[in-house]
Structure 1
Amino acid sequence: MVESNNKVTKYSSSSSYFIFEAIFASIILAAIGYSIFSSTDSIFIKTITVTFSLLILASIAFYLRSIVFSIFFYDSEIVIDFHLKSQKTKLNYTEMVGIKYISVQKSPDMNRIYFKTRNGKKSKKFQAVAFDDEFIEFIDWLKSKNPKIEVSVIPSDHYLNEKMFGPKYKKYIKKTL
């Protein structure tokens, strides 16, 4: 638990994993740009290559500003604190519509929360808050804040579905497939 502004954080996570993906994409882009730049003698093509590479790198950096954040689940509210821009978003649990647990091979487990805004429904994706039985405790804690929150687990055959929804879940999935 982390204390901040007299609030106790029960759960927290971050989306900083996306920084590594952006760095990897930037390195690949730089390598492709360098190979085009060094293989040609035309100053025009070199200039276009450098300009195009810099524009794409700038757009990756701009995009990172909106997806890299830490999320804190306080007793009274959810706070999303963006790392690369000085912005904090505060959400009430009544604004939260759903949460999704995403488990994909060769990638860290992720959560995606869905919440209502003035402009409709938005979502934020971040590394999983908790795993296995701790995730079930987290869901129970969230449901105590807002019982209308929809919970889903991807893939549909993930063992958490059976733990959360009971042994009848597998039979239901087999019937619907």
Structure 2
Amino acid sequence: MTGPERLLVIVEDDAAFARTLRRSFERRGYAVLSAASHDALVALLADHDPGYAVVDLKLGGASGLACVQALHAHDPDMRIVVLTGFASIATAVEAIKLGASHYLAKPSNTDDIEAAFDRADGDAATPVDGRQTSIKTLEWEHIHQTLVDTDFNISEAARRLGMHRRTLARKLEKRQLR
């Protein structure tokens, strides 16, 4: 079993992005493991005890939230940062409830992620702005909540939203931040 000192696991299905993160964290002194799916992560956790994790919210057609849950169950003290190109309040709340330490929208770099690892507590001084939410943001958050509710099943989400599957897929492609 490898100890949790500076062992990091990256759960990311984009091989190029995972490789870039790996190199960057290795230069900072982390030992890095990678998994591209929930099943690969579970197999990896059988032999390793990472102290840190970076999890992509959307892993192919699956949700990274199951990975957050598995990581937190493996070690409740693990520092877990969720990265997503589909940022929404609903998934941020779910990620934190399931054990994530922090939630960052892509693009995020190694500095952002490492800073998130170091932030153990919330910040009560964070300003609460009175800015009105745009209709596009409200629509996006509704779509994303529906995706979370359907475990990222595009066809079922489209049915619940009353739109054609291809229309929903196009909206998701436009909004993605990668």
> Normalised by the shorter chain, which TM-score bucket?
under 0.3
Structure holding more strand per residue:
1
Q: Which has the larger radius of gyration?
A: 1
TM-score (structure 2 length as normaliser)? 0.27
TM-score (structure 1 length as normaliser)? 0.27
